[in-house]
Amino acid sequence: MTENSLAAASQASRISRETDLRAPASSVSSPIIEVTDLEKTYLTARGPLTLFKHLDFTVATGEMVSIVGQSGAGKSTLLHILGALDAPSAGTVYCASTNVATLSPRQAAAFRNREIGYVWQFHYLLPEFTAQENVAMPLMAGGLSRREALVIAANWLREVGLDDRRDHRPGELSGGEQQRVALARALVNKPKVLLADEPTGDLDAATANQVFALLQRIHADYGLTSIVVTHNSELAARCTRKMRLEGGRLLAVTETNSTLG
């Protein structure tokens, strides 16, 4: 997955924006994510496996939406489709004003680098590089000089509270510190949308709470639109909206906190 993100950044430096794929201009209140009639079917040895069929949902700009559900329900697959890492079998998927369902592989790579920040359950940091170098990697792959990229990376590490750990390699960092480096790397290109797939899944309860609080603060401070997949119902309830993916449908769970932080 690290190789994919690096390739995406490298391709993005050579690819101009595909203006014909942009959604028509709309009002400020229009959703930044709009999914219509989404279907995803995999062909397996036992026959077709359909995760979604006729799935519709929207996410407004600035929302922090959590998605819960049983393992295998398709939560990660949904994030992959929104982030142009996977293609839908049918339907329309607009994310950050782009119809991601129609993107070619090269266009998808450029889109991810330009608009999407992705945080995984595992950090996928490159072990031979320092925290600062890991954060700077997408910028350098995108054509920025090493000097400039390292300055920006240092600023992001300071933002996530790791200014004094920037010269440490991943193996010298705790699990929570590794995930904070991964968050800084995801945000270094200033994306509009943050997709987080079980970002606290490998952390103990106290560290998970700290990392999630950081996610909330970064989300609010930088005006992000965030979708967080998690098995932790308590953390999910701290988002502005909580949804459950069940039977191929997204269902509203309950009213959640409207104030982040």
In this structure, is residue 235 part of a structural domain?
yes
In this prediction, residue 167 carries a pLDDT of 96
Residue identified by tokens 């995801």 is: 186
Query: In Å, how far are 14, 44, 131, 154, 172 from 150, measured between CA atoms?
Result: 21, 45, 10, 6, 19
Look at 9 and 175; give whichever has higher pLDDT.
Answer: 175
In this structure, is residue 232 part of a structural domain?
yes
CB atoms within 10 A of CB 85: 21
In this structure, is residue 218 part of a structural domain?
yes
Q: Which two tokens stand for residue 192?
A: 């509009």
In this prediction, residue 9 carries a pLDDT of 43
In this prediction, residue 71 carries a pLDDT of 86
Sign of CA dihedral 128, 152, 173, 186: negative
Find the CATH number of the domain harbouring 115. 3.40.50.300
Of 12-26, 143-157, 240-254, the range with the lowest mean pLDDT is 12-26
Look at 185 and 71; give whichever has higher pLDDT.
Answer: 185
Q: What is the mean pLDDT of residues 15-36?
A: 54
In this structure, is residue 51 part of a structural domain?
no
DSSP 142: T
In terms of average pLDDT, the best of 13-17, 26-30, 236-240 is: 236-240
**Residue type, position 147, single letter:** R
What's the total number of domains in the chain? 1
In this structure, is residue 246 part of a structural domain?
yes
**Structural domain span for residue 235:** 2-12+61-84+102-255
Q: Are the C-beta atoms of 39 and 78 separated by less than 8 Å? A: no
Residue identified by tokens 């359909």 is: 50
pLDDT band at 27 (very low <50, low <70, confident <90, very high): very low
Find the helix packing angle between 205-221 and 175-187, rounded to 10°: 20
Sign of CA dihedral 218, 162, 4, 52: negative
Residue closest to 114 by CA, chosen among 23, 11, 196: 11
pLDDT band at 53 (very low <50, low <70, confident <90, very high): confident
In this structure, is residue 236 part of a structural domain?
yes
In this structure, is residue 46 part of a structural domain?
no
In this structure, is residue 29 part of a structural domain?
no
CA angle 127, 132, 136 (to 5 degrees): 95
